[in-house]
Amino acid sequence: MAPRTLRDPSSSHTIGFSSSTLFDPTSSPQQPPSSPPAATSTTSATPNSLDLHCLPPIFVIPAHLDSDAQDEVEEELAASHAPLTYSVHEARLFVGLVRSKKRAALELRTRGLWTEEVVREDKSVQEEVKEKVSRGREGGSEPPRKRVKVDGGVAKEDVETASETEVETASEASETESESAPSDHVPAESTIEPSKGNAEAQYAVDGSSVQLQPHPKSPAEDPPGALQFQDHLRVISLDWLRDSLKAGRVMSVGKYVVYECRAIEKPTAPQRQQTLIPRQQIQKVIPARKAQIAAQHPQSQRQQQPSSSQQILDRARADAGEGPRVNQRYHPRRTGLALDVKKPRSQLLQQTTTPEDASPTNADSGPLPPPPDWVAQHVKYACERSTPADTPNAAFVEQLKRIRLARELRDDDIGVRAYSTSIAAVAAYPHEIRAAREVLRLPGCSEKIATLWREFSGSEDGTVAEAREVDDDETLRTLRLFYNIWGVGAKAARHFSLDKGWKDLDDAVEFGWGQLSRVQQIGVKFYDEFAERIPRSETEHIVQVVREHARRVCPVDPDGIEILIVGGYRRGAETSGDVDVIVSHRKLDATMNLVEDIVAALEQSGYITHTLTLSLQGTSRGQATLPFRSSNGAGLGFDTLDKALVVWQDPEWPGKASAAETNAKNPNIHRRVDIIVSPWRTVGCAALGWSGGTTFQRDVRRYAQAVKGWKFDSSGIRDRRTGKVVDLEGPDGVGRGEGIVDAEKKVFEGLGLVYREPWERCTG
DNA sequence: TCGACGTCGCATTAGT
DNA sequence: ACTAATGCGA
DNA sequence: GTCGA
């Protein structure tokens, strides 16, 4: 922003707060330019007519002030002998270009000073009593607290003390901070806990002006109001200084107060209120909340054990009949039985768990179900076994997933991997787990997981404490809110929440919009819509549109366009988070530049509203560079896939025609759509790479590396040592009469893997 | 006991 | 201005 | 957090 210096003709002082013009006119009495001249010297170093030495410690909030402007403000204050401080904790008064309470609180928070608002108003006795009562409600989610009036003599504790003693109520308060509408709070209980010493300055406005009068600040002489005033922190508009300078006298702070508050302790500590995930806050800027909360707690509708014992038996039988043999071919049987191998660990666990083992839930007295072959043989790659979506241990898996989410939010990617492995193993286990010993046999599951299982199986509600944290812990809830924005990962979520102190999307929109990357802005904009699940029918429709457009931009051989829907849809999910579709064509030329063309066409016809990213590394490298790509080892190599990650909205809706006049908006929900273009040569790899759950996909790579020494990625396979391309699909891909799925099967085969149907790849 | 744990391209930021 | 490092989604 | 060198 261009600093504009505003010179006040009536004063020789330069008031260079560059953004004075931004001042909210309503918050500052407009002073006519003809106000009394203060006529003093021209340099700001020279003392002006103000005497501010009796002010409480004052802090200049630099927000929206360029350094020059900030200097000037500080100069003025210094020249007036104001007790300038640079410590937020020391300061009692804050001046700055701040116009809203929320912003003020954020500015302080950003500097490490957490506050809760103190509302002072002239309220009827009745109201006050009402509030006294409601104030005592259980500690958790109180609105900004109103102070009960206390004998002024007691009220001499400083802010630090006060805040320390009130930690418990502090943390939640900020959540409702800006909504200073406590009126509809129904008093639940009436434990009135007299607040220590921070008496409400009933006549605060008066108090503040008194305080500013030049009588020396001797505590003994301070009127009660002034003393109470010290408890409070106030953020006042810079207008106050400007007007004071203009007027040549110290204006009363009263009408310039933007935000009045008390310091509280930083509410990072885990909250102990776990049963209620209460409030939906009113959404102002973004109509997000309801959908968001619904989307975040879909599981809170209890999930019942999805497996009858009959099912288990069926499954056990099926598994015994099918899976194992084939695997054995590639994994020559090992000599030891699982039990032998794991024995030491089992014992260790049993030793610690003996008491529980007696309990009915995990009585392990009976023989355990025979372990599936992959368990017995310690087959550890998810791509080597069948993982259907419905597992008899869904409830436990769900707990593990929550813990994994907590690890993600804490930016512990190692933990994330570890839990992903465990989850994949448990999810693949075809029996309902009955004993901790069973858990220990699973690859990737050891003592920690077994311990969790014991907690899980012994609990009333089938949950574990660590998993509940994701919902209960305030910090994690906020992190998750940001993490769910497309384009925001663990790092950014933590930055927003922890460093910037944002608490919700409104904060991001109001205060951080400019700091968001382009895609993050899009992610915020469509926060709710992206959280909505996409039914299969809609996926099919979207893909149909993609197909038509692909045909349209491929005039030479439109019938050659081949399409496979991948992602969750292919795994059989009823709904998906996004649409993933692979587009290919047997003719190499046809896939060249195809993404760009498809995207352009879809933009043209109004389906694509935004393009998040466009990867053109592969085919569209341009005809010119094509020959050079062959330099890397084998043949005409396209290393990577072209892909487009876009935002999709169907431009057609029922009332559209008549809507033209009414200015109605397109009501169709925005969707995330990934369009992947693969050359035919590697379309099998693409299908394999885009169809599995994350863990399945990762394990394909690990497997290829460990077992074959290959490097797998969705655009092909090459030998790690030689760097040469491994052609599992044939030099030109599968031939006539064979399709994408056939190509995929060849890749499985070439890797030495049994083909897994897409719905067997639900590794979570 | 200690290192590995999938891999890539794009976008943005940090560093020179 | 350039390259290197980081964050991100898949 | 688990596995394996």
pLDDT per position as a tens digit, A458-495? 999 999 999 999 999 999 999 999 999 999 999 999 99
Q: Which nucleotides of D are covered by protein (CB under 7 A)?
A: 1-4
Contact A577, A697 (CB under 8 A): no
Query: Closest nucleotide (CA of A519 to C1')?
Result: B11
Q: Which amino acid is at A290?
A: K
Query: What's the Å distance between residue A457 CA and nucleotide C7 C1'?
Result: 38
**B14 C1' to A349 CA distance, Å:** 48
Q: Please give the pLDDT value at position A418.
A: 98
Handedness of CA A119, A124, A130, A136 (dihedral sign): positive
The whole-angstrom separation of Cα A584 and Cα A678 is 5
Structural Rg of chain A based on CA atoms: 33
Helix (H) or strand (E) holding A576: strand A575-576
Q: Where are the alpha helices (DSSP H) in A433-535?
A: 436-441, 447-458, 465-472, 474-483, 490-494, 505-512, 518-525, 527-531
**CA–C1' span, A517 to C3, in Å?**
22
Nearest to A540 by CA among A571, A570, A520, A515: A570
Rounded, the Å distance between the CA of A689 and C1' of C10 is 9
What is the per-residue pLDDT for A494? Answer: 97
Average pLDDT of span A485-511: 96
Give the C-alpha separation, A759 to A570, whole Å: 7
The nt closest to A566 (CA vs C1′) is C10
Q: Residue A561 above 50 pLDDT?
A: yes
The distance of Cα A33 from the centroid of its chain, to the nearest Å, equals 49
Among A20-29, A399-408, A544-553, A691-700, whose mean pLDDT is lowest?
Answer: A20-29
Least confident of A169-178, A439-448, A457-466, A604-613: A169-178
- Percentage with pLDDT > 70 across chain A: 63
User: With 50 as the cut, is the pLDDT of residue A513 above it?
Assistant: yes
In this complex, which residue's CA is closest to the C1' atom of nucleotide D1? Answer: A418
Give every CB contact of residue A283 below 8 A, 6+ residues apart in sequence: A289, A290, A506
For residue A491, which nucleotide's C1' is closest to its Cα?
C7
Instruction: Identify which of A124, A117, A4, A122 has the alpha carbon closest to the alpha carbon of residue A64.
Output: A4
DSSP state of A692: S
For residue A633, say whether its CB is under 7 Å from any atom of strand C. Answer: no
Whether residue A157 has pLDDT greater than 50: no
Q: Which nucleotides of C are covered by protein (CB under 7 A)?
A: 6-10
Close Cβ partners of A269 (under 8 Å, ≥ 6 residues apart): A167, A171
Asked if residues A373 and A430 have their Cβ atoms less than 8 Å apart, the reply is no
- Which residues have CB under 7 A from strand D? A 378, 380, 414-415, 417-419, 421-422, 443-450
Say yes or no: Cβ of A489 under 7 A from any atom of strand C.
yes
At residue A488, the 3 state secondary structure works out as coil
DSSP assignment, residue A485?
Answer: S
Q: Whole-number Å distance, CA A577 to C1' B8?
A: 22
**A490 Cβ within 7 A of any nucleic strand C atom:** yes
Q: Which residue is nearest to the C1' sugar atom of B9, using CA?
A: A615
The whole-number Å distance from A487's CA to C1's C1' is: 28
What distance in Å separates the CA atoms of residue A552 and residue A599, rounded to the nearest whole number?
12
Q: What does pLDDT average to over chain A? A: 73
Q: What pTM does this model have?
A: 0.72
pLDDT number for residue A618: 66
Q: How far apart are CA A634 and CA A586, in angstroms?
A: 19
- At A617 the pLDDT is 75
CA quadruple A403, A404, A407, A412: dihedral positive or negative? Answer: positive
Q: How many whole angstroms from its chain centre is CA A106?
A: 19
Indicate the pLDDT class of residue A411, thresholds 50, 70 and 90.
very high
The single residue listed with the structure tokens 């372990």 is A371
